[in-house]
Amino acid sequence: MTTTYLANPTISVDAVSLTDQCKSVVVTEVGESLESTAFGSTARTYVKGLENNQVVATFLMAYGVGETYDTLEGVVGTQTTVVVAAGGKTFTVANTYLESLDLVNANLGELSEVQATFTGGTITKS
């Protein structure tokens, strides 16, 4: 069994590095399933349809110029590019869409965090 220790991951949104504000990120490659079962089949079969990829990142909220709020607020409702590098691999998700952004998500005595979910787009792996 191989275990990978995640060292020095990076993330950028719209070409702005948010690495110093990111706590976690999940990049999911999704190929929607299309049923291809035909007459005479004894089991359902499926083929890959459209991609519906997703990037979910948790950021510490910072309101300065070029920080979390400034960067994410600028891409809400638009297509953008998210690049995640981890474990020696780089995943570029182009034309991904950020539908919404929590403007304030805070608890007394805790650092403010926000979760951003980018959907759709195409993944390039390198």
Going along the chain from its start, the domains and CATH numbers come out as 10-125 (2.40.30)
CB atoms inside a 10 Å sphere around CB 103: 12
Is residue 101 helix, strand or coil?
coil
Kindly report, residue by residue over 52-99, the tens digit of the pLDDT.
999 999 999 999 898 999 999 999 999 999 999 988 899 999 999 999
CB 54 within 8 A of CB 30: yes
pLDDT at residue 2 tops 60: no
Residue of 28, 59, 19 whose CA lies nearest to 123? 28
Please state the pTM of the whole predicted model: 0.86
Kindly report, residue by residue over 16-37, the tens digit of the pLDDT.
999 999 999 999 999 999 999 9
- Binning pLDDT at 50, 70 and 90, where does residue 10 land? very high
Q: Whose structure tokens read 């990049």?
A: 27
